[in-house]
Structure 1
Amino acid sequence: MLLQRFGQTTRPFHRIKPTPQTSIRHRSYLAPPFLLDTYTPRYQLLTSVEAAKKRSQAYAHLRKCNLCPRLCGVNRFERRGTCLIGQDVTVNTIAPHFGEEPSIQGWNGSGSVFFSGCNLRCVFCQNHDIAHQKNGFDLTPEELAEWFIKLQDVGSVHNINLVTPEHVVPQVVLSILHAKELGLRLPIIYNTSSFDSLASIELLDGLVDIYLPDFKVWNPETSKRLLKADDYATVAMESIKAMHAQVGDLCFTPDGLAQRGVLLRHLVMPGHEEEGKHIVRWLAENVSKDLFVHIMEQYHPRAHVGKPRRSTTGRAQDIADGIIKPGARPAGPDAEKKVRYADINRPVDLKEVASVRQAAESAGLWRFVDASEHGGFNL
């Protein structure tokens, strides 16, 4: 017998009492209850009344922007706030993307929309040329919806992946509702830094199928220094719990493609693995031990990290040899003192990554994004 739940069909799940010969948990993340026979995107299940209510709320938030934790309160039809974006969205890239997790990108790619601007100012931002400045082309919500349809019909992508959308939630809501009318049938992914307000997540309820949050750091001192937001961890904890309450743990169709749920990322930072351990323990104790987690090792110095310190006149000074690690040759001790954020001016050590992974396993987490054991495509 099949069960109806969240607009899709799921297989019934019977828990087996463990014996000395059986494992408590399945090794496969495609095992029930995480296996879906079919799936209907959540926005397809909205009534016309519910859709109209969300449109009205989105326009109201644009007139007095209070969805982001920055609480700028500006009328975005007239001026911009911290994020640099007004009533329309600024998009840098729209294309099938093959740099996501295998269950997200599949074989045709994830239909990714890289928004310009951000409500954080991470000093190590890997996309700082997009996030720290208004860099791209402007689209109305209706024009953005038309691009969703192009990604679906021409690109044959598996989903619509909204990358760094925290500051354009009202426009995202309007675009999804319009795309529904145009014939969109793909799951929606909300790919976020987790610096989202609860009001923002509530507005997205019923529209987003997969939440892809990144829980960056734990200590307020670290987030104030590196993200320019001392309340980051508090906000992230609230928003991630709200995301999970909406869509639950990550579920897949039999082809191995994620369709609904939360996939949480943590980028391990050099010298900050203890904060990563706090994060994974909190996730296991307060969200779900069945949470799908990607412990990432991709950190490398970008943006402001390793750049020359500014002088008292406000102009950057040249470093003696002109090269700062991880460049062609290591910088000397004196030069290292002259660069910004020297403590994270190195790649992350794999031992640091392994330490966070071990803490996650010890806390009871077991569903991880891992390389395929057979060395092939991991689906």
Structure 2
Amino acid sequence: MLARSSTCLEIWHALRTSRPLTTRRTKSYLAPPYLLDDYIPRYQLLSPLQESKKRTEAYAHLRNCNLCPRLCSVNRYEKRGTCLIGADVVVNTVAPHFGEEPCLQGHNGSGSVFFSGCNLRCVFCQNHDIAHQKNGFHLSPEELGEWYLKLQEVGNVHNINLVTPEHVVPQVVLSILHAKTLGLRLPIVYNTSSFDSLASIELLDGLIDVYLPDFKVWDAATSRRLLKAEDYAKVAMESIKAMHAQVGDLCFTADGLAKKGVLLRHLVMPGHEDEGKHIVRWLAENVSKDLYVHIMEQYHPRAHVGKPRRTTSGRARDLVTDIVEPGGASADTATNKQVRYEEINRPVSLDEVDRVKTAAREAGLWRLLEVAEHGGFNI
């Protein structure tokens, strides 16, 4: 009652003084307009004609693969492109996963499908043994769709989470449409590095409920050195805007589970906090200030980071046993002790992470996932 009276007084005072009322932004993620009474996955709403068109487009892309920015133009029934994957998919792990955000994993886990292969070559890849290698088992798109049903019926998971799927989008489209005929009714999460083409995102429209993109780095020099893709930031900006145009800001049901929208991740890199600040400012100005953002502190040296510098191989090893510098000269003792990508060969500091979060709030982003926040699962 007291709160209502205070509100009335504020309105009356504002009218008398002709001053605009201050807009108060709710701090609850489980409040309108982000609260859903119920949710039907988007693929359930596709007509038979729309499904048929998507199947046709998926098969066409497999025969001339230009769905990722690498533009390999290969017939994947006959050969492989940069991603190393053909017309089938190679899956490393299919299981309920409890390493995602609380709003995705819930109590029962996110039904994660970890694909082998990738169209990036991140030197610090946290899933290097999966993404940079063909470790796993081959599945046709139809067999992949049947695994979704097993996750739903046996695993009782909250969603189907497609991890590193950028290079297998045609197969993903076919698998979702097949799983729909088998009785799939869970939201689909597209867990991506954001190195997606606009054609790929368009093909996925109507099939994906939650886009989970990662915006890694900002500078072209950094992406060329660490991701082996100089145009990464430009591609990521286009694809993230297209994802948001399809599904909007992240929305939840009353149990705290995310059902629809974009949940964006940024992994803060040691020594690259300025790039993180550029990224969050761009997101606030060009995507949405209501974007749900997870600024992550999990970085630690993996993959090629911290490994000894490359040595010679083959017949050259018989001639020179040390590290070889340009021109074929043998390296000195100090050089032999150096490691690769030394500038990121350390964990990220909490101060670096906090400064990126501060920049995000100053830019107007307010829906930041906090470490201690568990939504509807804080029990």
Instruction: State the Cα distance separating 1:317 from its structure 2 match.
Output: 7.8
Match of residue 237 from structure 1: 237
- Could you tell me how far apart the structure 2 residues matched to 1:22 and 1:283 are? 24
TM-score after normalising by structure 1: 0.88
Q: Is the 8 A contact 1:93 1:136 kept in 2?
A: yes
Match of residue 208 from structure 2: 208
Query: Which AA in structure 2 matches 1:172?
Result: V
- Do structure 1's residue 183 and structure 2's residue 173 form an aligned pair? no
1:374–1:292 distance in 2 versus 1, CA, 3 Å: closer
Q: Is the 8 A contact 1:308 1:317 kept in 2?
A: no
- 1:262-281 equivalences under 5 Å are 262-281=262-281
Query: Which AA in structure 1 matches 2:86?
Result: G
- Could you tell me how far apart the structure 2 residues matched to 1:151 and 1:229 are? 34
1:27–1:285 distance in 2 versus 1, CA, 3 Å: same
Instruction: State the Cα distance separating 1:336 from its structure 2 match.
Output: 9.2
Query: Which AA in structure 2 matches 1:311?
Result: T
- 1:1-379 equivalences under 5 Å are 24-311=24-311, 334=334, 338-372=338-372, 377-378=377-378
Q: Is the 8 A contact 1:205 1:246 kept in 2?
A: yes
- Could you tell me how far apart the structure 2 residues matched to 1:370 and 1:104 are? 14
- Could you tell me how far apart the structure 2 residues matched to 1:52 and 1:132 are? 33
Secondary structure, counterpart of 2:54 in structure 1: helix
- 1:313-354 per-residue CA deviation (whole Å, 9 max, x = no partner) reads 6779899xxxxxxxxxxxxx9579610000000000100000
Secondary structure, counterpart of 2:35 in structure 1: coil
Instruction: State the Cα distance separating 1:375 from its structure 2 match.
Output: 11
Secondary structure, counterpart of 1:146 in structure 2: helix
Q: Is the 8 A contact 1:308 1:318 kept in 2?
A: no
- Could you tell me how far apart the structure 2 residues matched to 1:33 and 1:255 are? 15
Query: Which AA in structure 2 matches 1:159?
Result: N
Q: Is the 8 A contact 1:336 1:342 kept in 2?
A: no
- Could you tell me how far apart the structure 1 residues matched to 2:100 and 2:321 are? 38
Query: Which AA in structure 2 matches 1:292?
Result: Y
Structure 2 unaligned spans of 5+ = 1-9, 15-19, 324-332
TM-score after normalising by structure 2: 0.88
Q: Is the 8 A contact 2:98 2:105 kept in 1?
A: yes
Secondary structure, counterpart of 2:157 in structure 1: coil
Secondary structure, counterpart of 1:368 in structure 2: coil
- Could you tell me how far apart the structure 1 residues matched to 2:221 and 2:232 are? 10
Secondary structure, counterpart of 2:93 in structure 1: strand
- Could you tell me how far apart the structure 1 residues matched to 2:73 and 2:185 are? 34
Secondary structure, counterpart of 2:238 in structure 1: helix
Query: Which AA in structure 1 matches 2:356?
Result: V
Instruction: State the Cα distance separating 1:369 from its structure 2 match.
Output: 1.1
Secondary structure, counterpart of 2:104 in structure 1: helix
Instruction: State the Cα distance separating 1:133 from its structure 2 match.
Output: 1.2
Q: Is the 8 A contact 1:371 1:378 kept in 2?
A: no
- Could you tell me how far apart the structure 1 residues matched to 2:377 and 2:250 are? 19
- Could you tell me how far apart the structure 2 residues matched to 1:335 and 1:302 are? 21
Q: Aligned residues: percent identity?
A: 78
- Could you tell me how far apart the structure 1 residues matched to 2:67 and 2:145 are? 21
- Could you tell me how far apart the structure 1 residues matched to 2:179 and 2:142 are? 8
1:376–1:255 distance in 2 versus 1, CA, 3 Å: closer
- Could you tell me how far apart the structure 2 residues matched to 1:169 and 1:26 are? 37
Secondary structure, counterpart of 1:304 in structure 2: coil
Query: Higher helix proportion, which one?
Result: 2
- Could you tell me how far apart the structure 1 residues matched to 2:160 and 2:342 are? 37
Structure 1 unaligned spans of 5+ = 1-15, 320-332
- Could you tell me how far apart the structure 2 residues matched to 1:375 and 1:199 are? 34
1:374–1:149 distance in 2 versus 1, CA, 3 Å: closer
Which 10-residue stretch deviates more, 91-100 or 333-342?
333-342
Query: Which AA in structure 2 matches 1:71?
Result: L
Match of residue 7 from structure 1: none
Greater gyration radius? 2
Q: Is the 8 A contact 2:255 2:376 kept in 1?
A: no
Instruction: State the Cα distance separating 1:21 from its structure 2 match.
Output: 11
- Could you tell me how far apart the structure 2 residues matched to 1:228 and 1:282 are? 22
1:374–1:155 distance in 2 versus 1, CA, 3 Å: closer
Query: Which AA in structure 2 matches 1:47?
Result: S
Secondary structure, counterpart of 2:84 in structure 1: coil
Match of residue 328 from structure 1: none
Instruction: State the Cα distance separating 1:371 from its structure 2 match.
Output: 2.8
1:126–1:290 distance in 2 versus 1, CA, 3 Å: same
1:336–1:288 distance in 2 versus 1, CA, 3 Å: farther
Secondary structure, counterpart of 1:24 in structure 2: coil
- Could you tell me how far apart the structure 1 residues matched to 2:108 and 2:238 are? 34
Q: How many residues align?
A: 351
Instruction: State the Cα distance separating 1:312 from its structure 2 match.
Output: 5.3
- Could you tell me how far apart the structure 2 residues matched to 1:199 and 1:48 are? 21
What value does the CA root-mean-square deviation take over the aligned residues?
Answer: 2.4
Q: Is the 8 A contact 2:309 2:336 kept in 1?
A: no
Instruction: State the Cα distance separating 1:378 from its structure 2 match.
Output: 3.9
Instruction: State the Cα distance separating 1:194 from its structure 2 match.
Output: 0.1
- Could you tell me how far apart the structure 2 residues matched to 1:351 and 1:335 are? 31
Q: Is the 8 A contact 1:309 1:317 kept in 2?
A: no
Query: Which AA in structure 1 matches 2:360?
Result: A
